[in-house]
Amino acid sequence: MVRLPESHLDLLERPVFAHLATVRPDCTPLVNPMWFLWDGDEGVIKLTHTKRRHNYRYIQQQPSVALSIADPNDQYRYLQVQGVVERIEDDPEGSFYQLLQQRYRGYVTEVRDRDVRVILIIRPVAFKARDAG
């Protein structure tokens, strides 16, 4: 497991958005804001997604990804994460999506696309922390 800068652990623990970069078949990047959960015990980042989206197909072809997580209180303070999607798990009940709903919105609703929901598990291979100034 790569070493996470303790100074930026709060960015993984707080419900802030991560900007996920994937690689398209033409080798150009695609970036989307995402909800995530840091699993410190496993040392992985987990995201919810569906099998119907372009990113899902891109990740299957090229599992290398990057995340940028900025501090909403100081946008010049951020954490960059380079990683690999090491596995994809089905979430047929949408329970992980609901866990993230609670984390980010404070409430849970029905998951209408639960039959195509998956959990992307990203293994970080490098962290880069930046502070303001």
Selecting from 3.40.50.300, 2.30.110.10, 3.40.50.10490, 3.40.50.620, what CATH number does the domain 6-130 have? 2.30.110.10
Over residues 103-111, mean pLDDT: 96
Helices (H), 8-94: 9-13, 54-61
What kind and span of H or E run contains 130? strand 117-130
pLDDT in tens, 3-22: 889 999 999 999 999 999 99
Structure tokens at 19: 């900007």
Global pTM value: 0.94
| Distances, alpha carbon 33 to alpha carbons 5, 6, 16, 20, 42, in Å | 22, 23, 10, 6, 23
pLDDT in tens, 63-106: 999 999 999 999 999 999 999 999 999 999 999 999 999 999 99
Statement: residue 2 has pLDDT above 90: no
